[in-house]
Amino acid sequence: MPACRHCGSTYPREFFIHGVGPRAQVCARCGVDQGLVTKEEVPILFEKSMSSARFSAVARRYSIFLYLPFLWVLWGATLSDVEPWGLFFLGLLLLLTLAAPVIFIYRGGRYSGDMARLSPAYDRPKGH
């Protein structure tokens, strides 16, 4: 993947502005910030609400893998010694841990649909 000359970030080719000279190898965000293009010329540029919605979709997708280690540590630190509830929560944690990859794969299509809905329509310019 190419890297932007200004910020050094790597993006797919469609996130770069089209042109030669000072516009070559410049991402859309840096192109708008540097005044090389206007916002209307760059349809791939995400607005603030669009980028927060995309971040929310990614957070929902991967949040289960953040919660699981936290719940295991919580169980080990506090609930493992409690007589009837420790075994109940252990069984629940085991079930959730085994179901997490299945849920992750099962909801992959929904995540792809959300990201497609939250991506602006973009036609790749000629030469990219």
Using one digit for the tens of pLDDT, what is the confidence trace for 94-125?
Answer: 999 999 999 999 999 999 999 888 876 666 65
2-24 pLDDT, tens digit each: 888 888 888 888 788 888 888 88
51-96 pLDDT, tens digit each: 889 899 999 999 999 999 999 999 999 988 888 889 999 999 999 9
pTM of this prediction?
0.63
How high does pLDDT run on average in the chain?
Answer: 87
On the 0-12 / 13-18 / 19+ scale of CB atoms within 10 A, 18 is middle
Rg of the chain over all Cα atoms, to the nearest angstrom: 22
**Close Cβ partners of 57 (under 8 Å, ≥ 6 residues apart):** 111, 114, 115, 118
Burial call 27-41: b when 16+ CB within 10 Å, e when fewer: bbbbbbeeebbeeee
The enclosing H or E element of 29 equals: helix 28-33
